Amino acid sequence: MSQNKKLVLDSSLQIFFFDHLQEFNKKTFKPLRTETIFYSSIVMDNFGDSSKLFEQVNDRSREKILGKKLMESSQFPKEKQKHILKDIAETSLFICGYFADSLNRKIIDAKYYEDLGKIAYTRLNSFTPEAYDVPSFYKMMAGQFSEVTLLMNLVAKKYSTDSDPAMPWLILQDRKIS
């Protein structure tokens, strides 16, 4: 193997993300809780399958319309609301974290997705007031949304540069779906 190529030996994508999020987290002025990093790595692992960023409508893939989903979520039974709110929150978190730079070129910017994510996490907290043995976990996620997305963005930038083509592409580049 040439000197500039690296082999990644993590046993899962989630562990890979956890290690790298934790690496950046340790360097911050006010590190986030390990549970937050663990949860964030699960979110990133989930979206390792880029099809999770899209929804199927009439046998066609399209970007999720998160604002509309948030407005409609209250019309559903509690369990379905929880599922929808979690999807909105996690999709917003991932988009703001992993695709932050590409959002700057769109009409709907990162602030919009951040606001949606925070609202969804806050509402989700009313259904699930504890997660990962942390009281008000999802409320905490809403409050630390910006910090978490910054860590995700640092991981994305570290592994999406053209300087080392041997590094794994974790998510395929942003694409438009009609």
Per-residue pLDDT tens over the stretch 69-93: 999 999 999 999 999 999 999 999 9
Is residue 52 in a domain?
no
Q: Quick one: average pLDDT of 124-136?
A: 95
pLDDT in tens, 94-115: 999 998 878 777 778 889 999 9
Is residue 175 in a domain?
no
Is residue 16 in a domain?
no
Is residue 140 in a domain?
yes
Is residue 119 in a domain?
yes
Is residue 71 in a domain?
yes
Least confident of 90-104, 119-133, 150-164: 150-164
pTM of structure: 0.83
Q: What is the 3-state secondary structure of 31-62?
A: CCCHHHHHHHHHHHHHCCCHHHHEEEECCEEE
Expressed as residue numbers, the domain containing 85 is: 64-159
Helices 145-159/78-98 angle, 10° precision: 50
Is residue 77 in a domain?
yes
Rounded to a whole number of angstroms, the distance between the first and last alpha carbons of the chain is: 41
Domain count, the chain: 1
Is residue 43 in a domain?
no
